[in-house]
Amino acid sequence: MRILSGIQPSGALHLGNYFGMMRPAIELQEKGEAFYFIADYHSMTSLFDANERRKNTLDVALDFLACGLDPKRSVFFKQSDVPEVCELSWLLSTLTPMSLLEKSHSYKDKIAKGIPVNHGLFAYPVLMAADILIYDSNIVPVGQDQKQHVEITRDIAIKFNEQYGQTFVIPEPQIRESVAKVPGIDGEKMSKSYGNTIEIFGDEKALRKKVMALKMDSRQPAEPKPDADQNLAIQLLKVIDAGVGKEWEEKLRAGGLGYGDLKKKLFEVYWEYFAAARQKRAELSANLDFVNQVLADGAAKARGKAREVLQRARKASGLE
Ligand code: ADP
Ligand code: TRP
């Protein structure tokens, strides 16, 4: 079974990325052959600073390895080291109805926000389909916001198979309901593009400040809070540690717990949770040759598979 996922090098890793995608992906490396990549081509649709892309790409590599991606088990690589995906993306685009892409939430959201959209952004789901199909992927672990993209991938693959004969494996998204949409510090979906993130790696003081600044209501500590499950700090605590989260939810519900103490607890649990990863990341940062070698080895393996599937698609469609 092939498991595949990608993450864009578009900014610092946050709790939503980690619990929504990275942790499930890392757990799945035990279940089959996992391919994980840094979606640097995709980042070009919204990030236009070359040096920042280089830096972010290295950061994602460090983040993923520090969080437990095991390069002995999984194939870890940079998307652009397998340029074959661009060719497959073209083949797929010719069978992709415009209307399918016009329905894409992420594209519509950008338009609604008045962000100038480029053709790459419109074609984003086609490149994502190529990423998935070129490795014969069965399972794609992602957060809720990527579900539609995997559905578009399925539609395109089915269409190609119908038109040119059985060529592609039809993939399934895998979404963990409990962490499908981790809320940010404003209560909306946590996202780099909304500036509402709590990062995994960063300066302790600044991150503590962010957590302590979470907005709460003005009710007194003594007051019971029947709506404790709606509290943002409780929701985040539950994402990090369901047991502790539940326990503190009951405390808050009963009354007698102040929001300051709750936020302190949240920070403590969060900081402790990533202590080992932080240590590992510092070690990896001092050994970049190792990190670059992992990506080079991963690219060689991924490219072998990509060439095989691309050739299948070229033959099926009469290019060969
Ligand atoms: P962002 O929205 O911060 O730019 P990405 O688009 O890079 O995040 O997402 C990388 C992965 O993390 C995707 O699989 C996405 O579904 C997941 N993800 C991002 N934000 C969240 C969130 N708030 N809750 C759950 N999963 C998330
Ligand atoms: N679009 C995904 C995101 O922003 C990143 C991505 C690109 C991806 N290609 C992929 C995820 C293929 C899963 C499979 O999070």
For residue 182, how far is the Cα from the chain centroid? 12
Catalytic residue check, 264? no
110 is catalytic: yes
223: exposed, middle or buried (Cβ count in 10 Å: 0-12, 13-18, 19+): exposed
Per-residue model confidence (pLDDT) at position 302: 98
The protein residue with its alpha carbon nearest to ligand 1, atom 11, reads: 17
- Give the mean model confidence (pLDDT) for residues 74-100: 98
Domain ranges of the chain: 2-182+288-316, 202-273
Q: Flag whether pLDDT at 205 surpasses 90.
A: yes
Q: Is 4 helix (H, G, I), strand (E, B) or coil?
A: strand
91-148 confidence digits (pLDDT tens): 999 999 999 999 999 899 889 989 889 999 999 999 999 999 999 999 999 999 999 9
21 C-beta closer than 6 A to ligand 1: yes
- Tokens 């499908």 belong to 180
Residue 179 has pLDDT above 90, yes or no: no
For residues 131 and 39, is the Cβ–Cβ distance under 8 A? Answer: yes
Tell me how many degrees the CA angle 87-90-92 measures, rounded to the nearest 5.
Answer: 115
- 2-182+288-316 maps to which CATH number? 3.40.50.620
By CB atoms closer than 10 A (0-12, 13-18, 19+), residue 50 is exposed
Q: 7 CA to middle of ligand 1, Å?
A: 8
pLDDT digits (tens, 9 = 90+) for 25-42: 999 999 999 999 999 999
CA distance 279 to 222: 39
Q: Amino acid letter at 300?
A: A
Ligand 1 centroid distance, CA of 189 (Å): 9
- Looking at all shown ligands, the one closest to residue 16's CA atom is 1
Give the number of other CB atoms < 10 A from CB of residue 141: 23
What pLDDT, on the 0 to 100 scale, is given for residue 180?
85
Average of per-residue pLDDT across 171-193: 93
* Contact criterion met (CB below 8 Å) for 183 and 232: yes
Q: What is the pLDDT of residue 194?
A: 87
3-state SS assignment for residue 233 = helix
Counting beta carbons within 10 angstroms of the beta carbon of residue 208, is it exposed (0 to 12), middle (13 to 18) or buried (19 or more)? middle
Query: Does residue 174 register a pLDDT over 90?
Result: yes
**Given the residues 31, 72, 103, 110, the one annotated as active site:** 110
In a mutational test of the pocket of ligand 2, which residue from 77, 142, 181, 197 has the highest number of ligand atoms less than 8 Å from its CB?
A: 142
Which has the closest alpha carbon to 124: 153, 144, 160, 95?
Answer: 153
What percent of the chain is predicted at pLDDT more than 70? 100
Higher-confidence residue: 106 or 212?
212
Residue 251 annotated to the active site: no
Mean pLDDT in residue range 149-171: 98
pLDDT of residue 113: 87
**Is 19 in contact with 154 (CB distance < 8 Å)?**
no
User: What is the Cα–Cα distance from 5 to 162, expressed in whole angstroms?
Assistant: 25
Q: How far is the CA of 239 from the centre of ligand 2 (A)?
A: 22
Q: What atom of ligand 1 comes closest to residue 191's alpha carbon? A: 3
Helix or strand run (H / E) with residue 36: strand 33-38
Residue 144 tokens read as 């809720």
* C-beta of residue 122 within 8 angstroms of C-beta of residue 107: yes
Cα(40) to ligand 2 centroid in Å equals 10
10 Å CB burial of residue 168 (0-12, 13-18, 19+) is buried
Instruction: Please check whether residue 220 is in contact with residue 249, taking contact to mean a CB–CB distance below 8 angstroms.
Output: no
Residues with CB under 6 A from ligand 2: 4-8, 39, 42, 128, 131-132, 140, 142, 146, 149
Q: According to the model, what pLDDT value does residue 275 have?
A: 97
Please name the residue that has the structure tokens 């649709």. Answer: 45
Q: Output the residue whose Cα is nearest ligand 2's atom 8.
A: 6
Taking the C-alpha atoms of residue 208 and residue 264, their distance in angstroms, rounded to an integer, is 8
Q: Which fold has domain 202-273?
A: Tyrosyl-Transfer RNA Synthetase (1.10.240)
Ligand 1 pocket test: which of 56, 60, 107, 145 has the largest number of ligand atoms within 8 Å of its C-beta? 145
* Among candidate residues 57, 26, 12, the one with its CA nearest the CA of residue 207: 12
Report the distance separating Cα 107 and Cα 97, nearest Å. Answer: 15
Burial class of residue 230, CB neighbours in 10 A (0-12, 13-18, 19+): exposed
Average pLDDT of the chain to the nearest whole number: 96
Calculate what percentage of the chain has a pLDDT beyond 90: 95
Q: How far is Cα of residue 114 from the mean position of the Cα atoms in its chain?
A: 24
| pTM attached to this predicted model | 0.94
- Ligand 2 centroid to residue 317 C-alpha, Å: 26
